[in-house]
Chain A
Amino acid sequence: MANIISDETIEYVGILAKLELSDEEKEQAKADMGRMLDYIDKLGELDTEGVEPMSHVFPAHNVFREDVVTNGDTREELLANAPEQKDGMFMVPKTFA
């Protein structure tokens, strides 16, 4: 049961993944993803009827704390990592035309 990945699927997944692949990378991605899904399809052999999906091995519960600031002001250090900054803020490309 070979999975054939269409151009449309790769295009769509590229949008979800926020990746822009070259034509060559797209062909490679189609082949790779098809093979991986063929392999993952092996899980279909197992009957999991009535088995609850397990996201965490131990019971997960929310961890609450008081809404109190405990960290200091590291704005300068944080902004130092930004590709572009201006007036103490991150610079981003125009988002509205």
Chain B
Amino acid sequence: MTITDMTALQLAEAIRAGRTTAVEAAEAMLANIEAKDKKYNCYVTVDAEGALTQAREVQARIEAGELDGALAGVPVAIKDNMCTAGLLTTCSSKILYNFVPTYTAEAVRNLQRAGAVILGKTNMDEFAMGSTTETSAYGATRNPRNPEHVPGGSSGGSAAAVAAEECFFALGSDTGGSIRQPAAYCGTVGMKPTYGTVSRYGLIAYGSSLDQIGPLTKDVADCAAVLEIIASHDAKDSTSIERQDTDFTSVLTDDVRGMRIGVPNDYFGDGLDGEVKEAVLAAAKTLEEKGAVVERFDLSLVEYAIPTYYTIAAAEASSNLERFDGIKYGYRTGEYEGLHNMYRKSRSEGFGAEVKRRIMLGSFVLSSGYYDAYYLKALRVKALIKRAFDDAFARYDVILGPVAPTTAPRLGESLADPIKMYLGDIYTIAVNLAGLPAISLPCGMDGNGLPIGLQLIGDCFQEKKLIQTAYTYEKARGAFPAAAGEVE
């Protein structure tokens, strides 16, 4: 086994045992980035020098016995919407083309304290608004499984970097599926924790009531280990929740006997690709054979989640993105007449089309005369959606379904029709509205060799049931083929 084939946990173990070093691991990843990233464009910024400096420091501390964590010495990639002190943070937008934060996001700090080595910042849809990583101002990312296809989004750079072995694991953020869907498209594991589990301090906000940081990893054990490290109560995030049950690696057990799994009929209707459906139902069957109690049921309200989400997310985005004004940081237009003209021109030239579309929609639904009819209505429907999940979790431990209706689309096919693109979020989006945890893991390949994702959704604070179920499924499934993608 070469270094690059290892999972994050295996690598850390090898470093602790002295079979390799943090420096060798960082060098191996930088070599992969050098060889592959021209083709895949997973990264906006690679910090080669900084990574080697961190790796040497971490290695010294491991050898001195000061660091012995589960991920000490492991190289990681960070989505470019998390602030990193001294390292360019663009949100894949022109408006932040030169922004160097003065502080580091708390989730990233937690990784640094645990001895992870930051390789750089990954590409994404601009301000996390998109499902393909094609709205980035710094070029699209390509799917390492097949470079003619998108990696998904918005955390497409993070998922692709894991799949292409340009990092051992990555952080992403998930507002409506932005970790789970690219994980599914690239054949990696991705998890969105319960809202409030990971601090949002230093995460550049899109839809604050929905945003949550989470891991993208090679397997379920790595996912549990990363989540265990990044989960923390943080006084700097007023929605951060104090939890005692974040020892997620304690449930990596191959056992689902008695686990009650609900399979919503509404997730298997029109629009779902036949191969995806077959693979996901086969995964349900596998879990049933392992002793889970699997039942079909009606979740209800599924088709209302997308309009609810786009109303709330656009409203929050229009408010959150007011801060980009050409004064304190980022892009300022060259010529202007007075303050307001400067604001408007800087923002119009700095934001891309999808971001402007959502800011306009958000400004409209919050405007006087429309606030009740659109924004408050959406918040009322959100309450109904939450109630539908509460009813389901009274009967089931886990809800099982697909991550996305299809496998990864071809580059250039999605952006022409925004509503069609938004419909691709139908199975992931309600999870954010209800604040629930959910995990995505590979459960098959379609006829074109593109991965299919299985989604497991849990009740609030029930990550452990998800991890245990996902781990058991992964054991039964066996090793998932790595991306072939050898680059000429």
Q: Residues of A at under 8 Å CB distance from B? A: 9-10, 12-14, 16-21, 25, 29, 32-33, 35-37, 39-46, 48, 51-58, 60, 62-63, 65, 74, 77-78, 80-84, 90, 92-95
Contact = CB atoms under 8 A, between A and B. Distances in A.
Contact of B310 (A18, A21, A36, A52): A36
A52 B326 CA distance: 38
B359 interface: yes
Contacts of B374: 37, 40
Contacts of A36: 310, 361, 418-419
A17 B235 CA distance: 31
A63 B235 contact: yes
A12 B384 CA distance: 32
Interface string B324-347: 011111111000101111111101
A32 B417 CA distance: 10
Contacts of B270: none
Given A33-B357, A48-B383, A90-B327, 19 more contacts: A9-B364, A13-B360, A14-B344, A18-B347, A29-B357, A29-B360, A32-B357, A42-B304, A43-B308, A43-B311, A46-B301, A46-B384, A53-B376, A54-B382, A57-B460, A58-B196, A78-B328, A81-B100, A83-B332
Given A19-B359, A82-B328, A54 B344 contact: no
A18 B343 contact: yes
B102 A78 contact: yes
B435 to A, nearest CB: 3
A20 B235 CA distance: 38
A81 B386 contact: no
A46 B381 contact: yes
B339 A94 contact: yes
A77 B103 CA distance: 10
B377 interface: yes
Nearest to B325: A18
Contact of A48 (B99, B239, B384): B384
A13 B367 contact: yes
B339 A56 contact: no
A43 B304 contact: yes
Interface in B271-298: none
B307 A42 contact: yes
Interface residues of B, number: 68
A39 B61 CA distance: 56
B360 A17 contact: yes
A-B pairs, 4 with minimum CB distance: A53-B379, A57-B435, A83-B332, A81-B329
Interface of B: 98-100, 102-103, 195-196, 209, 235, 238-239, 241, 301, 303-304, 306-308, 310-311, 318, 322, 325-332, 336, 338-345, 347-348, 351, 356-357, 359-365, 367, 374, 376-384, 386, 418-419, 434-435, 460
Given A32-B357, A54-B386, A63 B347 contact: no
Given A13-B363, A19-B347, A93-B336, A57 B195 contact: yes
A5 to B, nearest CB: 9
27 contacts: A13-B367, A16-B363, A17-B356, A19-B348, A20-B345, A20-B348, A35-B418, A35-B419, A37-B364, A39-B310, A40-B311, A41-B307, A43-B311, A44-B377, A48-B383, A53-B376, A54-B379, A54-B383, A55-B379, A57-B386, A58-B196, A74-B103, A77-B100, A82-B327, A82-B328, A83-B332, A94-B338
A36 to B, nearest CB: 6
A83 B99 contact: no
Contacts of A65: 235
